[in-house]
Amino acid sequence: MTTIKTVGVAGAGTMGAGIAIVAARAGFKTIVFDARQEALDRTRGQTEAFLKKSEERGKLPAGAAVAALSRWEGTTELSGLASCDIIIEAIFEDLAVKHQLFGQLNEVCPPATIFASNTSTISITEIAGGSGRPDRFVGMHFCLPAQLMKLIEMSPGLATSDETFKTAWAFAEAMGQKPVATQDTPGFILNYFLIPFNNDAIRLVEQGVAEPAGIDTAIKTALGYPMGPLELLDLVGMDTQKLLCEAMHGLTHEPRAACPPLVRRMIAAKRLGKKTGQGFHAYGDTKMFGA
């Protein structure tokens, strides 16, 4: 049982869009914030297409798509999140920017509102230190694509209260997700393995060992992964991968976590992945994964 009724999502990018679907689909009123109206409009369109396709495929009952969309709303003003019981931050990996966002949210939200971060590499304790409410702050790292994956890595900061962690855990379960407790360490569980692994796949392309399609096929066929590493990177985006690498390498100094030069060249060429139509693979549309 959860006491959460209204959910805020800060950031209408790939992760924010997926998290908002999870919340709205589970019956929560969901308010998505982004300073750019065009980002909200794009995310709304992708969300509608994804939910309707889910209904057509029988993954949602008839009428569920319309019902979920009725619970979804967007806002370009942070004050639009003031009524939320929990706000999940899903912006890019930059500590200063996250501190600025949470500092502003702290001014417009009541003291009872829980703040959560979807960060995959930055310390929850460090982010919470700039939130104004470190006792009501928790890490909730959803897996990409959030609208399809069930796992949430739940990480308390040093000051996170037991009540806050229990409330966030119950909320994760109420959304139909599978929470797993982790310590506040770089990369938590998944990205501790995944960032170096994906970089290894990029370096195979750099070295001419195999083509991206061949690498993805080998991984999916031999290891049983539903998605190849380069397909996943196209979904993540090269710009995001660069930030993830810089954050992870800066914290751990693990050589395999360092950003491969090819990533920077692809960013310069605007080959960011699915969102630009070209990454390691070419895409004919920018629809949300699974739609």
Provide the residue ranges of all domains of the chain, joining segments of one domain with +: 6-181, 190-276
- Tell me, what's the pLDDT at 291? 55
- Tell me, what's the pLDDT at 197? 97
- Tell me, what's the pLDDT at 247? 87
Quick one: which of 211, 207, 227, 209 has its CA closest to 219? 227
Spell out, as residue ranges, where the chain has pLDDT lower than 70. Answer: 286-291
120 is an active site residue: yes
249 is an active site residue: no
Task: Classify 190-276 by CATH class.
Answer: mainly alpha
Select which of 120, 131, 198, 199 is catalytic: 120
- Tell me, what's the pLDDT at 289? 62
Burial tier of 123 (Cβ tally within 10 Å: 0-12, 13-18, 19+): buried
- Tell me, what's the pLDDT at 153? 98
- Tell me, what's the pLDDT at 152? 98
- Tell me, what's the pLDDT at 65? 96
Burial tier of 224 (Cβ tally within 10 Å: 0-12, 13-18, 19+): exposed
Select which of 54, 131, 191, 199 is catalytic: 191
141 is an active site residue: yes
Helix (H) and strand (E) counts for the chain?
11, 8
Burial tier of 70 (Cβ tally within 10 Å: 0-12, 13-18, 19+): exposed
Select which of 89, 93, 153, 231 is catalytic: 153
Q: How far is CA 152 from CA 46, 168, 178, 194, 277, in A?
A: 22, 11, 6, 15, 28
Select which of 93, 141, 155, 231 is catalytic: 141
Strand partners, 178: 151
155 is an active site residue: no
Q: How far is CA 129 from CA 25, 80, 109, 188, 201, in A?
A: 32, 23, 17, 19, 35
Q: Mean pLDDT across the chain, nearest whole number?
A: 95
- Tell me, what's the pLDDT at 107? 97
Segment (H or E) for 215:
helix 212-223
- Tell me, what's the pLDDT at 284? 86
Task: Classify 6-181 by CATH class.
Answer: alpha beta
